[in-house]
Structure 1
């Protein structure tokens, strides 16, 4: 994508974002919602005072810099990134009494969208989300504390992005008749663009995707992946007769996890951390460990889905080891496509073999399995680094 074409797209989505936010603010302020007047004033003041600080409205107008230039202190810019996302989502979670599609005949008397209405709602919702991603971009990260703060915020936003399309549709256009899962669409239209736009603005190398480089390198991983998968899934406890039938929902979940988590952790967070740690001798290793810790912490939310404490701890340890392994693979190859495939197939097959994508063995045995997986992944990662020292040490996130 050339800079000229990218700039035209950016200007277009900036305009859509401005129109979207002004429309939402107006509707919110004139609506009969039960919010106190102070809430409406607060939303309006916060957006006007902070919302245009993101390379917005490229113009040489005399007073435009008051609105478009970023804050003097980078910490304020980092915090403001998440304030803008909060404002955007906050406005959309205020249910409006009149749906925009009602008068177009795209909903029935119960405000449930018909097929055409749902299709148009998804298109408009996606356009609104893209305008957010193109406009509210991450500032340059200048310290480790900022990197950790922003990384945690990115993970939170990543988890929030799954229901975003549903929130926009049901807040503005009408109810969805079925419990449709838009999470994969959210990953493709929110997560992936956010990653690439951030890399573009930060002048960070973009990953290789589905370019078959280092084929022999990846082929040598197959025996290791097979062994570690068998241990991780405890195949000795799950005979083939007990394996689950492959379902569309399982495939969607696996793709969502593979694409979303790899782009968030191995591409975006890893790139931020490598950039911050580049002044240290073993910077890439520190970056790998930090993103793996964050990747492991993400799996603590499994307890909210009904997992036991022991199973949650085991899956967190397990994820840390796999995060180390995937992080090393990415820094050595920059081939995110192959890693996405490995991750997606891993989750898919684990769901088929165990009936669940999480740690399937409870108690002490599950803990032993997870520690074993983590240890093997770390040891093998160290081996890969030692065999590819030059390419690993020369790995850089900055554009040439």
Structure 2
């Protein structure tokens, strides 16, 4: 017997096929990855600003194409999952504290004005561009693929987050260290799952953009000079993020199935 379609998903507002959703995702990815090279002909002052403008138009185009940037047509009540959400929020704040991001933000605002605005523009472009790529275009693609599955939100979150992590392999082409890049793949997958749950329980994309922007707001964001760290803390800290995020997504999906079906 055919499984019941999850009609509470916002992506059901569009009748675009999986084939065209896949093409749209690939086009978005191509334009986003090439945008940085397109603006290199401009001065160091204007290039980051133009890059941000291109990404904003790209995100707007994605929202128009998909007709939504939300997960649900109407956000279901959390019920007992609210307790898990509180734990998740505490974990996310603790993660940002452990990553010493406040010190990174202070360093950005102590840079020369041109370098400061460059870091802000690139971090904001990354927040907008990558969240619309992974939490909107890819997430919606996978919700279409798994729309008849019981745990569509969980599977869509996992697949879109793994791809989000793998996309960071492109940094190898920009001279990034091999070990540092593999670490980025791992913790970006974890962050992707966390942001997926943030998108799910808020039913808004802007909190994900804001958190992504704050995560990337670092002095070296414009030149990708990431350095490898010790694997031990990274495996433990982001392993916890993966486990907690998956549990939260699963519980919310189970709650939605109970309420909507």
Scaled by the length of structure 1, the TM-score of the pair is: 0.49
Match for 2:25 among 151, 158, 165? 151
Counterpart contact for 2:88–2:248, Cα < 8 Å = no
Q: Which secondary structure does the structure 2 equivalent of 1:388 belong to?
A: helix
Once the 2 structures are TM-superposed, how far is the Cα of residue 183 of structure 1 from its aligned partner?
0.7
Counterpart contact for 1:187–1:260, Cα < 8 Å = yes
Once the 2 structures are TM-superposed, how far is the Cα of residue 179 of structure 1 from its aligned partner?
5.4
Q: Which secondary structure does the structure 2 equivalent of 1:244 belong to?
A: helix
Once the 2 structures are TM-superposed, how far is the Cα of residue 309 of structure 1 from its aligned partner?
0.4
Q: Which residue of the partner structure matches residue 334 of structure 1?
A: 203
Once the 2 structures are TM-superposed, how far is the Cα of residue 387 of structure 1 from its aligned partner?
4.5
Counterpart contact for 2:88–2:245, Cα < 8 Å = no
**CA displacement 1:175-199 (0-9 Å, x = unmatched):** x56652211100112x122212211
Q: Paired residues, what number? A: 229
d(CA) in 2 for partners of 1:280, 1:262: 24
**CA displacement 1:68-102 (0-9 Å, x = unmatched):** xxxxxxxxxxxxxxxxxxxxxxxxxxxxxxxxxxx
Please give the residue correspondences for 1:1-400 in structure 2 after superposition, counting only pairs within 5 Å.
Answer: 140-142=16-18, 151-164=25-38, 166=39, 180-181=46-47, 182-189=50-57, 191-200=58-67, 205-207=68-70, 221-231=88-98, 233=99, 235=100, 244-246=107-109, 247-348=116-217, 351=218, 355=220, 360-362=226-228, 365=230, 367-393=231-257
Once the 2 structures are TM-superposed, how far is the Cα of residue 306 of structure 1 from its aligned partner?
2.6
5+ residue gaps, structure 2: 1-13, 110-115
d(CA) in 2 for partners of 1:262, 1:268: 9
Identify if the C-alpha distance between structure 1 residues 187 and 307 changes in structure 2 by more than 3 Å, giving closer, same or farther.
same
Counterpart contact for 2:108–2:119, Cα < 8 Å = no
d(CA) in 2 for partners of 1:319, 1:271: 19
Q: Considering only aligned residues, what root-mean-square deviation do their CA atoms show, in Å?
A: 3.7
d(CA) in 2 for partners of 1:315, 1:359: 12
Q: Which secondary structure does the structure 2 equivalent of 1:197 belong to?
A: helix
d(CA) in 2 for partners of 1:258, 1:197: 19
Once the 2 structures are TM-superposed, how far is the Cα of residue 155 of structure 1 from its aligned partner?
1.6
Once the 2 structures are TM-superposed, how far is the Cα of residue 334 of structure 1 from its aligned partner?
1.6
Q: Which secondary structure does the structure 2 equivalent of 1:278 belong to?
A: coil
Identify if the C-alpha distance between structure 1 residues 347 and 272 changes in structure 2 by more than 3 Å, giving closer, same or farther.
same
**CA displacement 1:260-288 (0-9 Å, x = unmatched):** 11111101211121012112232222211
Q: Which residue of the partner structure matches residue 14 of structure 1?
A: none
d(CA) in 1 for partners of 2:254, 2:243: 19
5+ residue gaps, structure 1: 1-137, 171-175
Q: Which secondary structure does the structure 1 equivalent of 2:244 belong to?
A: helix
Identify if the C-alpha distance between structure 1 residues 300 and 324 changes in structure 2 by more than 3 Å, giving closer, same or farther.
same
Greater relative contact order (Cα 8 A, min sep 6): structure 1 or 2?
Answer: 2
Once the 2 structures are TM-superposed, how far is the Cα of residue 393 of structure 1 from its aligned partner?
3.8
